[in-house]
Amino acid sequence: MKKILIAILAPVLFTSMVNFPDAGEIIKKVDENMTAKTQVIESKMIIYGKRNTREVESKGYSEGNTKSFTEYLAPEREKGTKMLKLEDKLWIYSPETDRTIQLSGHMLKQSVMGSDLSYEDMMETRKLTEMYDAKVIGEEVIDGRETWILELNAKVEDVSYDKRKIWVDQERYVPLKEELFAKSGQLLKKTVLSEVKKIGNRWYPMAINYKDMLKDGKGTDFILLSIKFDEKIPDYIFSKASLKK
C-alpha cells in the first residue's frame, strides 16, 4: 500500500519540487526585450488568403502605446496610405482620394488589410506586467531552445485576451510561441515568433506568424526588415499634418 501511495504521489511531489523561476521576473525581462519607448519598424506582411497571397510593406513609428504612425510602401495599390493612431483614435489617409478619414476606437478591432491581425494587435505595446498575473507551468524545447511555459491571467479588465500562454526562451527571454484565449477558454490566436536576433542589448524576433485559430488558412506572416529602438522620433510624425505629406 505504501509503495502504491509513493508511486502515485512521487510525480506530484517531484513536480512541485521543481524550482521554477519567478514568473513575474520572466515577463518583466520579456517586457524589457519586447517593449521600448519608441520603435521604428520597416516590415513586410505576408497575408495568406484562400486564393492568393498578398504582400504589404510598411514603415511604422510608435511611441509608447498611444502614438503610432504607419506608412504603406508596397504594393502599388496601397502605396502612400498612411495611418495615424493617437490614443484610441485612428486616422487613415488614402492618396487615391486625397482624404483623411477618422475611425472610432471600434475600428481598431478590425482586421488590418484582410490579415489575421487587428489594428489593436499591431499597436498593442502595453507591457505584459501591467496587464497580467503570470505563473510558470512547465518547460518545453522549441526548435532546440529551452523555454518556460507561462500562463498569464488578466489582472485588469480592459484587455483583449483574458488568458495567454507564452513560451519564453530561457536564455534570451524572448517569447517563441504564444497562445491567446477567450474568456471561455477557447483558443483564439496563435503566434509563432522566430529568427531571434540581437539588436543592441536586447533580443528580438524578426519573424512572427499570426494565426486566427478559428479560421482556416495559414495565417499572416509579419517579417521585420529593420527595427530601431528608442530613437528620437520628431513630434510632427504623430500629427495629422504628416498624413498628407
Binding mask 213-232 for another protein (x = CB under 8 A): -xxxx---------------
In the chain, what is the straight-line distance between the N-terminal and C-terminal CA atoms, in Å? 80
Question: In whole angstroms, what is the distance from residue 171 CA to residue 124 CA?
Answer: 25
**Given candidates 106, 144, 198, 201, which one binds another protein under the rule CB under 8 A?**
106
Nearest approach in angstroms of CB 9 to another protein is 37
Q: Cell 484610441: give the residue.
A: 88
For 31-49, give the DSSP string: HHHH--SEEEEEEEEEEE-
Q: Which of 9, 68, 13, 15 is nearest to 38 (CA)?
A: 68
Q: Which is nearer to another protein, 50 or 232 (CB)?
A: 50
The reply to whether 109 sits near another protein by the rule CB under 8 A is yes
Backbone torsion region of residue 206, taken as left when φ is above 0, otherwise alpha when ψ lies between -120 and 50, otherwise beta: alpha
Residue with smaller CB distance to another protein, 41 or 182: 182
Q: How far is the CB of 162 from another protein (least distance, A)?
A: 5
x/- mask, another protein, residues 38-57, rule CB under 8 A, reads --------------------
Instruction: Name the minimum Å distance from CB 113 to another protein.
Output: 14
Least separation in angstroms between residue 217's CB and another protein is 8
# of chain residues touching another protein (CB under 8 A): 24
101 binds another protein (CB under 8 A): no
Give the SS3 label for residue 181: strand
Q: Which of residues 132-191 bind another protein (CB under 8 A)?
A: 154, 157-162, 180, 182-184, 186, 188
CA pair distance 35, 95, nearest whole angstrom: 31
Query: Which residue, among 165, 172, 171, 205, has the nearest Cα to 189 in the 3D structure?
Result: 165
Nearer to another protein, 88 or 195 (CB): 88
Minimum distance of another protein from residue 110's CB (angstroms): 9
DSSP notation for 193-225 = EEEEEEETTEEEEEEEEEEETTS-S--EEEEEE
Q: How far is the CB of 214 from another protein (least distance, A)?
A: 4
Question: Residue 179 in contact with residue 161, Cβ under 8 Å?
Answer: no
Binding region for another protein (CB under 8 A): 103-107, 109, 154, 157-162, 180, 182-184, 186, 188, 212, 214-217
